[in-house]
């Protein structure tokens, strides 16, 4: 049985929700989700401290939503410039993230440098040599950037993952400024992508993409947008 006191609070809450809906044209559920999102951002301060503790350098203010997977090899470098955004939580991307962001250096000589306002959504960056990403470049959900192959033949049938082989095998990746990388794209070792280029969803990029060009498919073919249209 609901008493007067409880009814008063239920009415207040209902009024508040109706008011939000009227003011913003969103459903109450959407607005509630937004509030929960803000709470999640608060808890993400803890994950920023964790990253700092692991050796990540912050050059300004970053935003984490949810907890990324961070691994910094001894002697290596991970740098997040001002305005970097890491969307790790399932609900932090309109397509949903099926995994958190992964920032990993795999050798003592590796570096992973994210320029100002780079945005990652469930994006995996693994550097054995170096991965450098220019300012305002954004990644769709679940893209991978790998500057080495992770596993190399060893012995008759085996595979090794040792640091020395990784160091020899890795080739730097450079991604320019204002690049858009579509969801689930894969960028492989040794690739340079120029400023303002775009990589299509699901593309596998094995060769350089000049500035202002678009790369689509597997293996990615590259074209100038005007020439194509």
- Residues of this chain that interact with ligand COA (CB under 6 A) are 93, 95, 121, 140-141, 182-183, 198, 200-203, 214, 216-217, 225, 228
Nearer to ligand COA, 128 or 200 (CB): 200
- Tell the smallest beta-carbon distance from residue 219 to ligand COA (Å): 11
- Tell the smallest beta-carbon distance from residue 92 to ligand COA (Å): 11
- Tell the smallest beta-carbon distance from residue 179 to ligand COA (Å): 11
Q: Pull the structure tokens for residue 180.
A: 């858009």
Cα–Cα distances in angstroms (integers) from residue 14 to residues 19, 23, 33, 78, 86, in the given order: 8, 14, 16, 47, 34
- Tell the smallest beta-carbon distance from residue 119 to ligand COA (Å): 10
Nearer to ligand COA, 37 or 108 (CB): 37
- CA 16, distance to chain mean position in Å, is 35
First to last CA, the chain: 67
Nearer to ligand COA, 167 or 196 (CB): 196
Nearer to ligand COA, 29 or 95 (CB): 95
Nearer to ligand COA, 17 or 201 (CB): 201
Rounded Cα distance between 42 and 52, Å, is 16
- Tell the smallest beta-carbon distance from residue 9 to ligand COA (Å): 40
């Amino acid at each position: 049985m609901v008493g007067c006191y409880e009814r008063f609070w239920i009415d207040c809450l209902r009024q508040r929700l109706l008011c939000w809906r009227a003011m913003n044209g969103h459903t109450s559920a959407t607005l509630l989700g937004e509030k929960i999102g803000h709470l999640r951002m608060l808890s993400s301060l803890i994950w920023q401290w964790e990253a700092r503790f692991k050796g990540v350098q912050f050059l300004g203010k970053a935003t984490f939503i949810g907890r990324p997977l961070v691994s910094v090899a001894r002697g290596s470098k991970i740098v997040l410039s001002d305005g970097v955004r890491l969307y790790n939580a399932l609900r932090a991307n309109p397509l949903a993230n099926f995994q958190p962001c992964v920032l990993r250096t795999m050798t003592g000589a590796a570096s992973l440098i994210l320029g100002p306002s780079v945005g990652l959504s469930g994006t995996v960056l693994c550097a054995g040599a170096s991965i450098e990403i220019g300012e305002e470049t954004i990644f769709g959900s679940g893209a991978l950037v790998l500057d080495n192959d992770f596993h190399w033949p060893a012995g008759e049938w085996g595979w090794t993952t040792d640091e020395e082989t990784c160091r020899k095998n890795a080739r730097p990746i450079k991604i320019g400024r204002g690049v858009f990388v579509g969801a689930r794209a894969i960028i492989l070792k040794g690739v340079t992508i120029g400023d303002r280029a775009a990589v299509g969803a699901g593309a596998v990029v094995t060769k350089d993409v000049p500035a202002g060009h678009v790369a689509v498919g597997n293996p990615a073919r590259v074209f100038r947008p005007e020439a194509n249209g």
